[in-house]
Chain A
């Protein structure tokens, strides 16, 4: 068991390195000289040459990757072309905001998905089941950036209940848990929660339906156990797989929130990426993608470890 955990940890290292390499290559595949990603286009020629030397851009690609990696490990993601500030300092507040939104949205999505999926799986073929399946399909098919706009139209434009944009007074860095701020979180959270809700509903429904058909459930019922008692057994069996799906969904949300954050001008990584794309600010683009991808790698690892610890049936070589 411990051996497996260690091996799994060890296996994550090459993946993380390779993900780093892909992010490194992002600047390389960009059209034009990669030097343009570091200095503004109007810089004088001798400065450009100096920077080229300083960054090691005159060296072969593998060496460049090594140098870049060394800097990244020390927390140096370069400087933004647009603002001149270090990428990492802008990223910190943005990641905090994105994490907050992703956590809120996924919690809501998981709870709704588990309830809907659990009920649908238990009462298969009922009206409830068909509704849950419909909701699940709609949840995975809806373009969430559009859903965000529809939410704004209904709750901000028509009803005027909730604000359509931003993160409240004080902007991105000044967050506190009062209604003044939380009301800005509601619409993006609702919008974003639809995706995990759809997928979790689908998964939980499948898992529960499969478990309900197993012999031990029949045996438990035959033993005279109450509905509640049987339900607890089912939950215990369904939990590891359901948790795994949810963990990964949290990661997908961090990536998927790019579009939703753009719709609501939520000051997270998505908005940062959006402005980086708009201004062709490659260091910001690269840094943000790298940090988000690393989060996802770590999350994958944690999900795997937790799943193996929770479910002794999973024996992996």
Chain B
């Protein structure tokens, strides 16, 4: 059988075409990046977020004043005051500085719960989706219970019972988002589990762990990641909301939600200074939302 060893002209042609196709398509992630680059809204949002991140990370270098040092003689100055471009708060502290430092905690409390929930929720969701049966029952029915609470209510309930504090707020928010991520992870895993290549891996003797690690995770992480990105916006709003209720950070720590709360008393004196921290929350939240939408489209995730 010499035909198997020496390829025919048609086979050689096919091989050349395959190589060319390989050269033309640069793989999945390059495609995603290409689509993202052509999406102006996503690019603008990502740039704003990146700028904000840099600003809050380097807050000590760029902040013009001390975030804690107030002064009784220059309380509640308006926007445009010389050397205090965004005014001062109810204790005479510079708003630019407070907003820069406040972003640190607001971002931290908006992102960390989602990160924790992503890790825990993905593990549990993939487990439930892949193993199925009783494990699935146990995990998914527990999830149903937490779904029976509106998320703001659950966050307020848990952190209200645990008491104020950053740690408690993050714990409460993580618990709020775990069930939501489990649901998504479980349904995506269910979809992948019965595909042919998983069957092929199983029949070639791969262990359950290997199948999940090599074949399942690679296919489910994308959609779950996109979903988690969209949760950051919600998380930031609820986290600042908790601080607004007095459940998250405590004064004098700068945090956007808490600043909004303490400045509420100044609403008749300097209304536009008082609403500044909320504007920061809004901008961050809307950018994360649009970024998640852009990622969803670029990565071609349904839902």
Interface residues of A (CB under 8 A from B): 14-15, 18-19, 22-23, 26-27, 29-31, 137-138, 140-147, 149-150, 152-153, 157-158, 251-252, 254-256, 258-259, 262-263, 273-274, 276-278, 280, 282, 285-286, 289, 292-293, 296-297, 300
A141-B285, A293-B149 known; A285 and B271 CB under 8 Å? no
Instruction: Tell me the minimal C-beta distance from B168 to chain A in angstroms.
Output: 9
A149 — which chain B residues lie within 8 A by C-beta?
260, 264, 267, 274-275, 278
> Which residues on the A side are within 8 Å of B157 (C-beta)?
23, 26, 285, 289
Q: Which of A14, A137, A274 contacts B289 (CB 8 A)?
A: A137
Determine whether the beta carbon of A150 is less than 8 Å from that of B152: no
Q: How far, in whole Å, are A157 and B274 apart by their CA atoms in the complex?
A: 12
In the complex, what distance in Å separates the CA atom of A26 from the CA atom of B149? Answer: 13
Inter-chain contact A31/B163, CB cutoff 8 Å: yes
| CA of A282 to CA of B150, assembled, Å | 19
With a CB–CB cut-off of 8 A, which chain B residues contact A273? 156, 160
Smallest CB-CB A-B distances: 7 pairs: A146-B278, A255-B150, A255-B153, A141-B286, A153-B271, A18-B145, A26-B161
Interface residues of B (CB under 8 A from A): 141, 144-146, 148-154, 156-158, 160-163, 233, 237, 240-241, 244-247, 257, 260, 264, 267-268, 271-272, 274-275, 277-279, 281-282, 285-286, 288-290, 293
Pair A150/B278 contact, Cβ less than 8 Å: yes
Q: 29 A-B pairs, CB-CB below 8 angstroms?
A: A15-B148, A18-B145, A18-B148, A19-B145, A19-B148, A22-B145, A26-B160, A29-B158, A141-B282, A142-B285, A142-B286, A143-B237, A143-B281, A144-B237, A145-B241, A146-B279, A157-B268, A252-B150, A256-B153, A258-B152, A259-B152, A259-B241, A259-B244, A277-B247, A285-B157, A289-B153, A292-B153, A293-B149, A300-B148
Contacts of A144 in B (CB 8 A): 237
Once bound together, how far apart are the Cα atoms of A262 and B247, in whole Å? 13
Question: Which residue of chain A is the closest to B240 with respect to CB atoms?
Answer: A143
Q: Is the CB of B150 within 8 A of A296?
A: yes
The distance in angstroms between the C-alpha atoms of A104 and B149, with both chains bound, is 21
* Bound: A286/B161 CA distance, A: 8
Asked if A256 meets B150 with Cβ closer than 8 Å, knowing A141-B286, A141-B289, A273-B160, the reply is yes
A137 & B278 in contact (Cβ 8 Å cutoff): no
Known: A142-B285, A293-B148, A296-B148. A157 touches B267 (CB 8 A): yes
With A141-B286, A141-B289 given, is the CB distance from A22 to B162 under 8 Å? no
B286 near A137 with CB under 8 A, answer yes
Q: A285 contacts B153, CB within 8 Å?
A: no
For the complex, give the distance between the alpha carbons of A286 and B158 in Å.
10
Q: What residue in chain A is nearest B272 (Cβ atoms)?
A: A153
